[in-house]
Structure 1
Amino acid sequence: MDTAIGDEHRSTVERLSQGLRDAQGLPVGLLRGPSTLYRVRRAGPRHWVDLSGLDRVLDIPERGDWVDVEGGATWRQLVAALAPRGLVPAVVPEDADQCVGAALADVAVGAASSRHGPVHATLLEMDVLLPDGRVVRCSDEEREDLFHGFPGSCGTLGYVLRARLRTESATPMLAVREEPVASSSDLVAVLLRDAEDDVLGTEGLARSRHDGMVRSARCLDGPLRQGERAMKLEDWLWRWTRDRDEAAWAWRPPARLHFDAPDEDVVQDVVVPAAAAAELVDLVLEDLGIQPLWLCGLRGGCGAASPLFPLRAEASYVNVGIWGRVRGAGDSSSGNRRLETWVARLGGFKAPYAQCFLPSDEFDLAYDMAAYARLKSKYDPLGRAPHLYDKCVRGG
């Protein structure tokens, strides 16, 4: 790590830590800029933790497959630092302006999750600012309970100051292939088939029960194969934020930051066993009337030790992104509650970043609240940050 950058990082960390220590007695919350956050938060006096100055890429080793980055850095910033060296984060979410810390706390996936699992499965170690101002380091060897319990905690256990993430090689140009499919079951089958290939990322899009597509990208280090087209690395990574005229790319989901009334929409990523994914896709398309849907495979073994994102190591999963208006919804919760019922019946669960309407008993069944309670008592014994259920459901 460059000495000057290291000094700046330590100074910022001490400022944030001291601010929390000086504000004892006040509840704490994270001051966010624009982000994919759809929970309505109750007003009230708090000590706001502002990570906006914590956005540096700290270290990219000459030899090694990792990068150290501050929690407030965005994926766009991180990719800009890595790409000139022929590297990318192992999993890059589609939201270029989401910060790394939010992806770890709220849980994020990307087209490469079929190979690597969620973003937090690529985490090697991190420094966390606890709600009382303490700074702790955690990894598989040190405070492993916090290391594995942090994903899905939504800022209720602390905030990421530094993350060490795995990287992989990437070429400046990629070869992108698009394959149409005629049913939801075919969509899932091709999606999981492509996940086994040597690709940088693969995703599925469903516009109706009989109209879908699987799209994949691989590093272009030779001639294009039949059916492929060349695309710049950054154009692939930020494909959902660029204006395009081609019909296939016009399947972008709506811009999730520009809903007229977010509390009346379904804004969710849900995870279900692969065998149940086609049924869920058809239910959402037919009953809720939301399209297009975004799908990616999800390696279960990578995240099996996370109690708040409970993937089983032996299982294969599909993440379904569901963002849009519910056809004929009677109120703001009806579509979400139908979706929550389907997901539970199919053996899945919801990523906690967005709206949640689960009653407390169903919430406890979906996530390991006993493990969370142990983490909360150990790392936030004064209860300065809200409880997970209070934050996700009640807007605490």
Structure 2
Amino acid sequence: MGTEPMAAGGAAHEARLGQPARQAHQARLARVLADLRGDGAGQAAPLGLSKRTSNLFRDRAAGPKRRLDLGEFTNVLGIDPAAGWVDVEGTIRYEALVDATLPHGVMPAVVPQLKTITAGGAAAGVGIEATSFRQGLVHDTLLDFDVLLPDGRIVACSPDNEHRDLFFGFPNSYGTLGYAIRLKLRTIPVRPFVRVEHRRHPTPVAFFDDLARQCEGDADFVDGVVFSGKEAVLSVGRFVDEAPWTSDYGYERIYWRSLRARDTDYLSTHDYIWRWDTDWFWCSRNLGAQNPIVRRLLGRKRLNSRFYTRVMRLNSRLGLTRGLARLRGRFTESVIQDVDVPLDRAGEFLDFLLREIGILPVWTCPIRPADGAHRHALYPLEPGVRYVNFGFWDVVETDAPREAGHFNRLVEREVMRLGGIKSLYSDSFFTREEFDRAYGTRDYAALKARYDPQGRMLGLYEKCVLRA
């Protein structure tokens, strides 16, 4: 899976692995820098990554770009389980990163839900999972990182060095300031199994009250699913050393359905980390992959987010879903969104979702941003304030056409009204003024002037809203 050979041994292991791995990293870096600095003819076109896969869910314009290939940067450079960190290259996928850390009794402090997300992508975007109620978002777990700037410079960023502005400004920059070429991430200890308790609630009030209580308790993982206004399940996970049984949701059985069928469940830690990937939460149902016959025809190797993403992109290019809906006299809008709303306004937002959007189920995940004097400039959650992430991903159908982005605009306005913020990995329709208010663009302008003064990369609004 692209990682260097690993062996046990704490700090001594890090020393053995570190030097050869870092020398190989420097050699890879020299090749990329030669490519970046050598192609003078391509400087007029904006710089972009050459990627085989992507976890962005917004259409992009097919304008000219100068593509940089960072596909070799998939290695672990060092790990120190006792000190609680792992040092990696930017395009390593979390699937490989988890496989590299678990044998040492640790995992990255926050592991995003999909196996193909990269460490650098999660740092430049926004990564979340069920440890986020205590650990924050992926960027809250960064100790330091190196950024490859568009002019070929490499800057080392930490919370207290001369590039701390970029350390706190890089998250949510989406490849418009540079690329994280190396990252040092916090790890947390693990045990072999996770015991999951599924706590069912008949009202949103009871659900969010229990979510708040569990976040103050001794849980290791907290997330939940809203199935309707009268049914929500809070899942609370704890590491354990032994399990009376373990469930396998990697093939014939479906994890999200188990929330309604089981009060208690046990999974290996590896399988718990990837419990949502097999069925892309529940979105595999749109491909018929939750039908037992279709499931067996696809086989275990195709039941994963990697396969579904390919199918989704093919559907987007061909317009199959839109075409079939039009044959039925219906009009569609894709609403694929993750938003973060303060916990004390979460009930209001859920009421809005049920009333105006109607997509179900809805994933919920509590977040506690890192405490401290510094906020992340482009994703400015209030330090110490509990938020709830709502993830909802489907197509809304209507019997009459609406303006482009109608339902997504409703979501954006409601999130802003409630003091929340929306991730930018998917379609956005903000006006320039709304975007400036929400995403710290005054700080962004200063970062752009310092780290990309020649404008070799697209701007954040141009990339994420105008889809340049």
Alignment TM-score, normalising by the size of structure 2: 0.79
Please tell me whether the aligned partners of residues 335 and 394 of structure 2 are also in contact (alpha carbons under 8 angstroms).
yes
> In structure 2, do the counterparts of structure 1 residues 250 and 133 end up closer, same or farther at CA, with 3 Å as the change threshold?
closer
1:190 to 210, 213, 225: 210
Code of the residue aligned with 1:17 in structure 2: it is: L
Query: What is the one-letter code of the residue matched to 1:150?
Result: F
Name the counterpart of 1:49.
68
Q: Is 2:81–2:106's contact at 8 Å kept on the other side of the alignment? A: no
Counterpart of 1:242 (choices 252, 263, 278) is 278
User: Contact 1:265/1:332 (CA < 8 Å) preserved in 2?
Assistant: no
Kindly state the Cα deviation for residue 210 of structure 1 after the two structures are TM-superposed.
0.9
Residue 319 in structure 1 maps to residue 389 in structure 2: yes
User: Residues 137-156 of structure 1 correspond to what in structure 2 (within 5 A)?
Assistant: 137-142=156-161, 143-156=163-176
Question: What is the 5 A alignment of 1:146-225?
Answer: 146-221=166-241
Q: Which has the higher contact order (CA 8 A, sep 6+)?
A: 1
SS in 2 for 1:60: strand
Q: 1:346 to 1:153 in 2, by over 3 A?
A: same
1:44-93: CA deviation from partner (whole Å, max 9, x where unpaired)? 33221222111001101253100001110011100000111110000111
Residues 300 and 316 of structure 1 are in contact (CA less than 8 Å); yes or no, is this contact kept in structure 2? yes
Hey, what does 2:375 align to over in structure 1? 305
Deviation string for 1:154-180 (max 9, x for gaps)?
A: 000000111100001001211111111
Q: CA deviation at 1:331?
A: 4.9
Indicate yes or no: 2:144 matched with 1:72: no
Aligned to 2:57: 38
Q: Matches of 1:130 and 1:33 in 2, distance apart?
A: 21
Counterpart residue number, 1:109: 128
Greater fraction helix = 2
Q: Is the 8 A contact 1:75 1:98 kept in 2?
A: yes
For 2:34, give the aligned amino acid: Q
**Matched residue type, 1:293:** V
> 2:438 matched to 1:369?
no
Matching of residue 229 in structure 1 with residue 299 in structure 2:
no
What amino acid maps onto 2:348 in structure 1?
E
CA RMSD of aligned residues (A): 2.2
Paired residues of 1:17 and 1:135 also in contact (CA < 8 A): no
Cα distance change, pair 198–49 in 1 and its aligned pair in 2 (3 A): farther
Task: Give distance in 2, aligned partners of 1:253 and 1:204.
Answer: 19
Q: CA deviation at 1:322?
A: 1.6
Partners of 1:332 and 1:233 in 2: CA distance = 43
Aligned partner (choices 99, 108, 111) of residue 89 of structure 1: 108
Q: In the alignment, which of 335, 338, 343 is matched to residue 410 of structure 2?
A: 338
Question: What is the match of residue 458 of structure 2?
Answer: 386
Q: Percent identity?
A: 38
Structure-1 separation of matches of 2:404 and 2:189: 44
Shift in Å at residue 338 of structure 1? Answer: 0.6
1:273-312 deviation per Cα after TM superposition (whole angstroms, max 9, x unaligned)? 1111121122112321101111111103348611111111
Letter in 2 for 1:188: F
SS at match of 1:381: coil
Displacement of 1:5: 1.9
Range with bigger deviation, 362-371 or 38-47: 38-47
The equivalent of 1:348 in structure 2 is 420
Deviation at residue 332 of structure 1 after TM alignment: 4.3
SS in 2 for 1:301: coil
For residue 80 of structure 2, give the secondary structure of its aligned residue in structure 1: coil
Shift of residue 40, structure 1, vs aligned partner: 2.1
Match of residue 276 from structure 1: 345
Alpha-carbon offset, residue 330 of structure 1: 2.7
- For 2:227 and 2:117, the matched residues in 1 are separated by 26
Partner of residue 35, structure 2 = 19
Query: Once the 2 structures are TM-superposed, how far is the Cα of residue 374 of structure 1 from its aligned partner?
Result: 0.2
Q: Any unmatched runs of 5+ in structure 2?
A: 1-16, 245-261, 287-304, 320-332
Deviates most, 178-187 or 337-346: 178-187
Structure 2 distance, partners of 1:253, 1:340, is 26
Deviation at 1:223, TM superposition (A): 7.2
Pair 1:16–1:314, CA change in 2 (3 A) = same
| Kept after mapping to 2: 8 A contact 1:90/1:166 | yes
TM-score normalised according to structure 1 size: 0.93
